[in-house]
């Protein structure tokens, strides 16, 4: 007798649920608030990080936004063309590039943040504050777990490469 194949109930599968929530919020916010300005969700993440943290090296911006370096470079180039960010050589190193919001970018972020907050408010409707805090803490933990997993996989891979 053949063993029964394992089933995956998609509606209870965490990666699916996280993606589903993120996609619907991003699609709605992107279409309503970002598309009229020629912006994408990834561009918005860059702008939001710069608004919160000030000038950033591109490498730090890639880390903070979870956007790979080559994609981020293209996004920053487009944001520079739109006049939303500026890109300058770092004062501490000619090899480093510092990205910051322009005056136009700051003004735009100021108009977009209330819209972003409204989408968040809609998404969390009915969640008591303590549950929301737990949800955010758990999602941060899941993210950290997966980052550690990438590090372990990279270590294992480099160990295998050295052994070969």
pLDDT digits (tens, 9 = 90+) for 7-61: 999 999 999 999 999 999 999 999 999 999 999 999 999 999 999 999 999 999 9
Query: Three-state SS string across the chain, please?
Result: CCCCCCCCCHHHCHHHHHHHHHHHHHHHHHHHHHHHHCCCHHHHHHHHHHHHHCCEEHHHHHHHHCCCHHHHHHHHHHHHHCCCEEEEECCCCCCCEEEEECHHHHHHHHHHHHHHHHHHHHHCCCCCHHHHHHHHHHHHHHHHHHHHHHHHHHHHHHHHHHHC
pLDDT > 90: percent of the chain: 81
Residue with tokens 């980052």: 147
CATH topology of domain 10-125: Arc Repressor Mutant, subunit A (1.10.10)
Q: Domain coordinates of the chain in residue numbers?
A: 10-125, 128-164
**Predicted pLDDT of residue 162:** 66
């Amino acid at each position: 007798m053949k063993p029964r194949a394992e089933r995956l109930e998609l509606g209870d599968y965490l990666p699916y649920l996280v993606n589903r929530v993120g996609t619907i919020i991003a699609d709605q916010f992107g279409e309503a608030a970002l598309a009229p300005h020629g912006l994408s969700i990834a561009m918005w993440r860059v702008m939001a990080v710069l608004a919160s943290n000030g000038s950033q090296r591109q490498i730090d911006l890639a880390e903070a936004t979870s956007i790979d370096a080559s994609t981020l470079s293209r996004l920053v180039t487009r944001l520079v063309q739109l006049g939303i960010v500026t890109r300058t050589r770092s004062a501490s190193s000619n090899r480093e590039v510092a990205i910051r919001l322009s005056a136009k970018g700051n003004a735009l972020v100021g108009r977009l943040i209330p819209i972003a907050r409204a989408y968040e408010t809609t998404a969390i409707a009915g969640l008591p504050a303590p549950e929301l805090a737990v949800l955010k803490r758990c999602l941060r933990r899941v993210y950290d777990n997966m980052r550690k997993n990438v590090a372990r996989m990279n270590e294992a891979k480099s160990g295998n490469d050295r052994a070969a």
